[in-house]
Amino acid sequence: MDLSKIIIIDEKEGKPYAFLASYATTLTYDISELNIDFSKVENVWCKHGTLRIQMEDNTIIELEPVESLGQETDFKWPIQLQLVDEDYNQLWEE
């Protein structure tokens, strides 16, 4: 038995409630044809996979990810695995 894989939880810290597995993924947004003047970019954010670029004049450019790259999330191994209590306080992490 691999003793390094034994999970020791002090239940005084909280009752185990759920495991959370975190994965990384990358989305690519092609801006090569837009001729954006970056000195006039006010804000940039991404929500629900849509990239938004707000210019000084308050116009917003919305871009969807380039799907032709075929990037998919690799669910084989998470980048982080946690055990949390009902309040999502971390009790253990791998």
pLDDT for position 1: 47
Helix (H, G, I), strand (E, B) or coil at 20: strand
Give the rounded percent of residues in the chain with a pLDDT score beyond 90.
45
- Please provide residue 58's backbone torsions phi and psi, each rounded to the nearest 5 degrees: 70, 5
**Verdict on whether the full-model pTM lies above 0.85:** no
pLDDT for position 74: 80
Rounded-to-10 torsion of CA 12, 14, 16, 20: -130
Q: How far apart are CA 89 and CA 17, in angstroms?
A: 10
